[in-house]
Amino acid sequence: MKFFPFAIALAASSFLCAAGLNDDQRIAKGAAASSALLQKLGGEVKKNMEASGPVKTLEFCSMNALPMTEQVGKEHGTKIQRLSLKNRNPLNAATGEDKALLEQWETMLKNGQSLPSHELKKLSSSQSAYYKPILINNEACLKCHGDIASGSPLGKAIATTYPEDKALGYKMGDLRGMVKVEISE
C-alpha cells in the first residue's frame, strides 16, 4: 500500500499534462506552423517565378496555395489559414473577430505604430488562435499584388481566375493579411 499515494500523484500529474499547453507553448506552436507555411509558400513562389514567370506562377498558386496550407497545418496538428481584408481568393476573406483584428492592425499602421509580431487569443475554453501579420515586405510581392495593368497578360489572367480580386494596388510596408493558426490544446 506504500506505493498507493505515489500512484495517485502520478495519475494526477499525467492528467494535468493531458490538459494541454500553456500560452508560451501555444505561441511556439503557432510560430512554428506559420513560419513553416510562409517559408514553403515563399520558396515555391520564388522557384516558380524564376522558372516560368508570373502568369504560370499565378496559376500554380491558384491550384496549390490552399492545399499546401492545409498540408502544413496537418503536419503541425493545427488548422492554418491566410486571411485578408483585400483578398484575392474568396476563401481567404477575413470575417468576424479575424476581420476586426486586421482592421485594428490597419489603424495602428495608419497611426505610425508598429505591429506586434504575433497575438494569441482565446477562442473558447479549449481553443486558441495564434495570429501573425503578413506585410508586403518584399518587392517580389508587388509583381502580383502591386499596380498591374489590366490589359497585360498577368492582369488578364488575374481577372479571369479571380473576377472578384481585391488584392491589387499594394505598396511596400502595407498590411497584406494575416496567418491564423488554430490551436486546440
Binding residues for ligand HEC, rule: CB under 6 A, are 42, 45, 54, 57-58, 61-62, 65-66, 82, 84, 87-89, 92, 134, 136, 138, 140-141, 143-145, 167, 176-177
Residue with smaller CB distance to ligand HEC, 14 or 39 = 39
Return the number of other C-beta atoms located less than 10 Å from residue 78's C-beta. 22
Return the number of other C-beta atoms located less than 10 Å from residue 46's C-beta. 13
State the nearest-atom distance from the C-beta of 7 to ligand HEC, in Å.
Answer: 51
Residue with smaller CB distance to ligand HEC, 21 or 55 = 55
Residue with smaller CB distance to ligand HEC, 5 or 96 = 96
Residue with smaller CB distance to ligand HEC, 118 or 185 = 118
State in Å, rounded, how far the first CA of the chain is from the last one.
35
Query: Cell 505515489 maps to which residue?
Result: 6
State the nearest-atom distance from the C-beta of 3 to ligand HEC, in Å.
Answer: 56
Residue with smaller CB distance to ligand HEC, 65 or 72 = 65
How far is CA 37 from its chain centroid? 8
Q: How far apart are CA 127 and CA 124, in angstroms?
A: 5
State the nearest-atom distance from the C-beta of 39 to ligand HEC, in Å.
Answer: 11
State the nearest-atom distance from the C-beta of 128 to ligand HEC, in Å.
Answer: 21
Q: Which residues contact 90 (CB under 8 A, 6 or more apart)?
A: 164
